[in-house]
Structure 1
Amino acid sequence: MDFAFDARTEELRARLLAFMDEHVYPAEAVAHEQLTLSSSPWDTPAVIEDLKAEARRQGLWNLFLPDSEYGAGLTNLQYAPLAEITGRSPHLAPVALNCAAPDTGNMEVLALFGSDEQKKQWLEPLLAGEIRSAFAMTEPAVASSDATNIETRIEQAADGGDEYILNGRKWYISGAMNPNCKVFIVMGKTDPACPDIRRQQSMILVPRNTPGLEVRRAMTVYGYEDHLHGGHAEVIFDDVRVPASNLISEEGSGFAIAQARLGPGRIHHCMRLIGMAERAIELMCRRAASRTAFGKALAQQGVVQSWIADARVTVEQLRLLVLKTAWLMDTVGNKGAHTEIQAIKIATPRAVVDILDRAVQVHGAGGVSQDFPLAELWAGARTLMLADGPDEVHQRSLARQELKKYR
């Protein structure tokens, strides 16, 4: 078995590691300082625009998109180690490279399913990093872990106009607080009576400035508002009218599009989570080597040594599973890699939360403070046990696949 990265991956890794050291890590404190001085906490710090310009100049742009017409044309296996590196600074690096969710998934949807007009109007400025976007799926009134529960309605106008009318309430719509978020991809029901519950839903593009669309409030995540990410909003659609040409693909295709969107999204999250774990291990080791308790360095305490060793073993295991999943997606497709995608979605957030928790413990009070990135990293990793389908949904599906072999 050959575990080596190919020449292009190694070359991009070297450039990206240098970019992180020279530009991203120094910008972390600057970005937070600029936010505190800004007139609005949702304004994009100037340093992020500087990072984006430098990333474009260095050719570190749109690395996530395998379509060479629109992106870097990398395979999942080539992109995996690059996404891991960006995970070491998950609030800055992905957006600097135009590889941040939810824009990545939205660009993939438009590249795969968008009309020429939709690509021209929305995909091109997203690819250029000129605008941001949001994906409106989750709802507060229903169990959104089952996407067939979605209640938002997308109905053809009864007055004969060539329009759709949207009514519904969404929440935890990532990126929606960013004033540069110019378009929403909204999932709703066009045919709630359809006997096939997976053909009831559709997706449609809704410009932010459309009358009846209200970004009502910012939702916190364990108390964090995620300003650098663009926040997470509650959004109301009250008789929102958009042209029928804003429909993505065709009526009834929303569920299938969502599945196509979430597959790559899940593995991208897992790739970045490994980078978060690596950052936690580095911080844990530095802290343990520099602090003394009860007459000896923390690094000499047996329990701390066990935490560090276990973290290293866990990360090496997870990385191999993620790389195997990426390779399968490239060779047999997302459907062929379904079991592995579910496996990494279950295993990676859990394990990384545990590693981050140990790193917090080694840092003591500093671990839960704003002086270190660990608390915010922990909140992000813990949230990924819910995002893109909670663990229990993936466990249920994975168990069913295993049990089929014995029936």
Structure 2
Amino acid sequence: MDFAFDARTEELRAKLLAFMDEYVYPAEEVAEEQRARLASPWDTPAVVEELKAEARRQGLWNLFLPDSEYGAGLTNLQYAPLAEITGRSPQLAPTALNCAAPDTGNMEVLSQFGDERQKKQWLEPLLAGEIRSAFAMTEPEVASSDATNITTYIERSPEGTDEYVVTGRKWYISGAMNPDCKIFIVMGKTDPDGADIRRQQSMILVPRDTPGVTVRRAMRVFGYEDHYHGGHAEVVFDHARVPASNLIGEVGSGFAIAQARLGPGRIHHCMRLIGMAERAIELMCRRAVSRTAFGKALAQQGVVHNWIADARVTVEQLRLLVLKTAWLMDTVGNRGAHTEIQSIKIATPRAVVDIIDRAIQLHGAGGVSQDFPLAELYAGARTLMIADGPDEVHQRSLARQELKKYL
């Protein structure tokens, strides 16, 4: 396993680091000031569009997509250090580079499973950053950690027309509050009584303006509305009719498509989490050398030494595991990297939550305030212990794989 950065990765890292310093970090405060003056909290601050234009001009665009026809054509190992850098400003940087979830996963789905018409109508404007999208899977009435539980129905039109009728209620649908969100990828059951519970589900494209689609309310995350991410919404599909040609892939392939979508999504989240941890360590160190308590700098307190040292060791360990996972995904595929994908999904959010928590503690009241990004970083990292499958689901699967060796 060789994790050395190749020439292209080094070039992109240098450009991205300079882009972060020159454009992204200064834009964080500007974006908040502009947002306060917007007519709607879900509108995009002008500075975000400026960042997107500059990123595209510099060739820092669609870096996540390994398909060279549509994206940058980078391997997972090449993209990993770039995603880490964007994680240092998770609200602005991924969006600026058109590398923000859920659009990334939706673009991957469309590029892999969409037909030519679907790609032309939806993938191309997503790649151009002209529209946003949402992925509608999680439901409030069932334990969505088990995707076979979903109760949304995708049924053929009872009148015999060449349409599907979508009925169900979803929530925490990321990106749905953004007025630029024009399309939902909806997972529902086309064969609820099928013998194979993993062939009961399908995925279908539902335009936001379809009659019967209602974005009911914004869902908060630890009190945050996550505006830059496009918010998280409760969405109702009340007999929403769409052409049968909007089905993605074949009938019954929804579960398999979801697994294909979530694998890269999990590693992208873990890459960005490491960047979040690096920023927390930086803020912790800056605070430690600038504040005095009980007659000496915080940087001279033994417990602070322990926090900083432990954080550095943890980040170095996590980075190696994430890079190994990226390398395996490139060399043996997502299935071959299954154990490692689950491992990083379990280990990374937990560890990063702990690092950010220490940084908050070192900042005192400032750590939970809006004057530092730590509280929002904490909320984002803690949420990832639930998103894309809660830790316990991955632990269960990982343990069963280990036990198989001894049964």
Q: Secondary structure at the match of 1:299?
A: helix
Partner SS, residue 364 of structure 2: helix
Using the TM superposition, give the Cα deviation of residue 228 of structure 1 relative to its aligned residue in structure 2, in angstroms.
1.0
Q: Is the 8 A contact 2:80 2:268 kept in 1?
A: yes
Partner of 1:144: 144
Q: Distance in 1 between matches of 2:348 and 2:84?
A: 12
Return the offset for 1:338.
0.1
Aligned counterparts, 1:208-357, within 5 A: 208-357=208-357
1:382-401 alignment, distance < 5 Å = 382-401=382-401
User: How much does 1:2 deviate?
Assistant: 3.6
Q: Relative to structure 1, is the Cα distance of residues 239 and 2 closer, same or farther in structure 2, using a 3 angstrom cutoff?
A: closer
Give matches, 1:7-406, under 5 Å.
7-406=7-406
Superposition deviation, residue 4 in structure 1: 1.7
Change (3 A) 1:251 1:3: closer
Instruction: Give structure 1 regions of 4+ aligned residues with deviation exceeding 2 angstroms.
Output: none
Deviation by residue 1:26-81 (Cα, 9 ceiling, x = unmatched) = 00011111111101000011101000000000000000000000000000000000
- d(CA) in 2 for partners of 1:303, 1:342: 32
User: What CA deviation, in whole Å up to 9, does each residue of 1:196-219 have, x standing for no partner?
Assistant: 000000000000000000000000
How far apart, CA to CA, are the structure 1 residues paired with 2:167 and 2:334? Answer: 33
Deviations 1:275-322 (A, max 9, x none): 000000000000010000000000000001100000000000000000
Provide structure 2 residue ranges, at least 5 long, that are not aligned to the other structure. none
Residue 388 of structure 2 aligns to a residue in which SS?
A: coil
The structural deviation recorded for 1:3 is 3.5
Could you tell me whether the CA contact under 8 Å between 2:206 and 2:246 is conserved in 1?
yes
What secondary structure is seen at the aligned counterpart in 2 of 1:197? coil
**Under a length normalisation based on structure 2, what TM-score does the superposition of the two structures give?**
1.00
| Counterpart amino acid of residue 365 in structure 1 | A
Q: What is the deviation of 1:256? A: 0.2
- Give the match's secondary structure for 2:227: coil
- Match for 1:366: what amino acid? G
Q: Distance in 2 between matches of 1:169 and 1:304?
A: 47
Contact 2:3 2:323 in 1 (8 A): no
What SS class does the counterpart of residue 341 from structure 2 fall into? helix
Distance 2:247 2:123 in 1: 15
2:248 is paired with a residue of what secondary structure? Answer: coil
- TM-score, normalisation: structure 1: 1.00
Superposition deviation, residue 156 in structure 1: 0.2
